[in-house]
Structure formats: C-alpha cells, structure tokens
Amino acid sequence: MKFLRPFPRHYFALPTNPGEQFYMFCTLAAWLINKAGRPFEQPQEYDDPNATISNILSELRSFGRTADFPPSKLKSGYGEHVCYVLDCLAEEALKYIGFTWKRPTYPVEELEEETVPEDDAELTLNKVDEEFVEEETDNEENFIDLNVLKAQTYRLDMNESAKQEDILESTTDAAEWSLEVERVLPQLKVTIRTDNKDWRIHVDQMHQHKSGIESALKETKGFLDKLHNEIGRTLEKIGSREKYINNQLENLVREYRAAQAQLSEARERYQQGNGGVTERTRLLSEVTEELDKVKQEMEEKGSSMTDGAPLVKIKQSLTKLKQETIQMDIRIGVVEHTLLQSKLKEKSNMTRDMHATIIPESAIGSY
C-alpha cells in the first residue's frame, strides 16, 4: 500500500469530498483485506465503482459478517455503512495478525504534600480510613490456620496475664503524664475535609441560594408590582385615548369606507372597459390584416392590368385557336366528303341490284 496522509478522526463520518472519500475507502478496505490474509487487488482511480463495492462486500461476507444494506450506500464514501465495513475489516485484520489488547498503564500522579499546622500533628478521617483499609487487606492476604491462631492467642493471653501481674502499681508521675497528654493531644485531633461531592454541602448550598432568592425577591417584588401598576395605568390611558380617537374619526372612517367602495366599483368598471378595449383591439387587428390582403390583391390586379404581357399571351392564344379551328374545319370537310362518297356508292349499288332483280313481262306471258 502506498503512503497515505493520516485521516482525521471523523473523515469517513462527515461529507467533505465524496470522490476522494470513496477512493480512500476502497484503498483502505483493500489494504485491510490483504492484512486479514485474503489476496485483494488494490483498486485504481478509474475502476468501475460498482464492481469494486461488490468485491469488497463479497470479501466481507466471506468473513462471516452481514451486509444487509444496498451497495449504493457505499458510493458516497462516508456514512454509517462505510464506518461499519471498515470496522469489521479492521477487526478481522487484528484477529489474523493475533493482536491482543494489553492492560492500560495509568501514570502515577504525585500528590502534593499538604501543610499541616501544629507540627503535622493532625489526624484526618481519610488517613484513618486508608489505614483501616490497609489493615483489612493485610488480614485478608495473610491467612492463618485456626489451630495455629488458637495456640498464638493462648500464648498471648498467658503473656498478658503475666504482664498484668507484674504491672500492678504505676510508677509514672502525674505531672509528667499530664505533660505527655498535652504534647500528644494535637495529634489526636480529627478534622473533616470538605468534599464538594458530599450531599450535605449541596443541601447547605441549596438553603443558601433559597434564602438569597427569597431576600432578593422581597426587594424586586415591590419594583415589579410598581412597574405592573404603571403598565396597567398606561394601558388604560392608551385604551381611553383609542376610544376617543375612534369616536372623533368615526365620520372620516365612514367616508373612507364609502370612497373605498367607490374605488372598488371603479376598478370593476375599468376591468370591464379594459376587456372591451382588448376585444375591439383584436377585431381592429383582424380588419387591418384583411385590409392589407385586399390592398395586396388590388396592387397585383393593377400591375397585371398595366402590363402588356397578358395581352400578348391572349393574342397568341387566339391565333393558335384560329389555326386549330381551321385544321378542324379541314378535317371535318374531308370526313364529310368521304361520308358523302360512301353514301353515293352505296346508293348506286342498291340501284344496280334493283334493276338486276326485275323480270321482263314478255317472258312471263309465254309461260
């Protein structure tokens, strides 16, 4: 894996640059998969993101991890699912290399020596508790057999009984005893340190604050009542002044309302008139278009009337029609002549046939 700059703590949790975050996610996931003992090719910048994500999720499922979310959640390069995938892969990599967490080593804090008055002859409850706890731990650690303990206690009782028999009379002077008591008395003094976490201190503070609030409330209540009364009087003055102004301006208000009603009526009439104007404007535009068309047609007709080309065309057409008429007359004459000849020929044939079929009378009489 190539050298990468260190990631911020919330790099994959917040959106900064989705393209860069996705590439870093794919690169880091591939490195973790290789660390977990599975060969995985490092993705390139121009690879298909869908294929890369599917490969990463398949490797994640091969480790026995669940990935019940759509692969499109990883395309952004940040979010809950990206952190989940990286966390699972990191755990698998740590398992593979056999990493184990060690016990934390806490730094030893050096306690400052407290200045105790009266020649350090002051005994605190904390020290007493600590000594008591140490004695209990020593007693718990040093286990002694019951029989041995009984034998030791029996010997101690015998020695104490012998000592008590020896010490029956006191040879100590009373003055020396009193001096010794005065010297040792400051060491027997017990002081209780004030702990801020103690509930008694909190109760005392609550009582102090309560008394302070009550004393301050007594002073401020008078000012607040006075302010409340002044505000009430001011509101009453404002209300009376408002009523007076309303009574004085009632006629003007009526006139204003009447003028406002007239204004609304005038606006309605204006809207209606404006609608009529727009309709008439539309009709005018249509009439203007028709007029333009008529003018254009008139211009075309006038130009055609002054132009001599149509007359020339008409004359040419007339001459052509005359020629065609003459040709048709000739054809008609030829056809009539042909028809007349055919009729005459037919008539002559019929006459010849009739003369051929007539029998002479002299021939009939001889029979």
Q: Please report the DSSP string for 309-338 in residue order.
A: HHHHHHHHHHHHHHHHHHHHHHHHHHHHHH
What's the burial of 22, exposed, middle or buried (CB within 10 Å: 0-12/13-18/19+)?
buried
What is the amino acid identity at position 342? Answer: S
Asked whether residue 139 carries a pLDDT value surpassing 60, the answer given is no
Q: Residue 165's pLDDT is what?
A: 47
**Are the C-beta atoms of residues 186 and 122 closer than 8 Å to each other?**
yes
b (16+ CB within 10 A) / e for 41-76: eebeeeeebeebbebbbebbeeeebebeeeeeebbe
**Are the C-beta atoms of residues 16 and 77 closer than 8 Å to each other?**
no
Q: How many CA atoms lie within 13 A of 42 on its CB side?
A: 9
Q: What tokens does 99 get?
A: 């990493």
98: left (phi over 0), alpha (psi -120 to 50) or beta: left
* DSSP 8-state symbol, 190: E
User: In this predicted model, which residue has the larger pLDDT, 75 or 136?
Assistant: 75
**Could you tell me which of 101, 66, 81, 68 has the C-alpha nearest to residue 29?**
81
- Name the average pLDDT for the chain: 78
Q: How many CA atoms lie within 13 A of 320 on its CB side?
A: 6
Q: Which pTM value belongs to this model? A: 0.31
d(C-alpha 226, C-alpha 215), whole Å: 18
Q: How many angstroms from the chain centroid is the CA of residue 113?
A: 58
d(C-alpha 33, C-alpha 96), whole Å: 10
**Are the C-beta atoms of residues 74 and 82 closer than 8 Å to each other?**
yes
For residue range 211-258, list pLDDT tens digits in order.
989 888 888 888 899 999 999 999 999 999 998 998 888 888 889 999
* DSSP 8-state symbol, 197: T
Residues in the chain: 367
Asked whether residue 118 carries a pLDDT value surpassing 50, the answer given is no
Cα Rg for the chain, rounded, in angstroms?
A: 67
Cβ-based neighbours of 39, under 8 Å, separated by 6 or more:
none
Q: Residue 351's pLDDT is what?
A: 86
For residue range 5-39, list pLDDT tens digits in order.
777 888 888 888 888 888 888 888 889 888 888 88
Q: What tokens does 151 get?
A: 């034998």
For residue range 164-190, list pLDDT tens digits in order.
444 455 677 788 888 888 888 877 765
**Are the C-beta atoms of residues 120 and 64 closer than 8 Å to each other?**
no
Asked whether residue 194 carries a pLDDT value surpassing 80, the answer given is no
Q: Residue 325's pLDDT is what?
A: 93
Q: Residue 328's pLDDT is what?
A: 93
Q: Helices 49-62 and 80-97: crossing angle, nearest 10°?
A: 50
d(C-alpha 103, C-alpha 281), whole Å: 95
Q: Which residues pair with 190 in a beta bridge?
A: 123
* DSSP 8-state symbol, 124: E
Q: How many angstroms from the chain centroid is the CA of residue 141?
A: 63
Mean pLDDT, rounded, for 77-106: 85
Asked whether residue 133 carries a pLDDT value surpassing 70, the answer given is no
Asked whether residue 147 carries a pLDDT value surpassing 80, the answer given is no
d(C-alpha 80, C-alpha 88), whole Å: 12
Of the chain, the percentage scoring pLDDT greater than 70 comes to: 75
Q: How confident is the model at residue 143 (pLDDT cuts 50, 70, 90)?
A: very low
Q: Residue 318's pLDDT is what?
A: 92
For residue range 100-109, list pLDDT tens digits in order.
877 777 776 6
Q: Helices 250-306 and 199-248: crossing angle, nearest 10°?
A: 70
Asked whether residue 121 carries a pLDDT value surpassing 60, the answer given is no
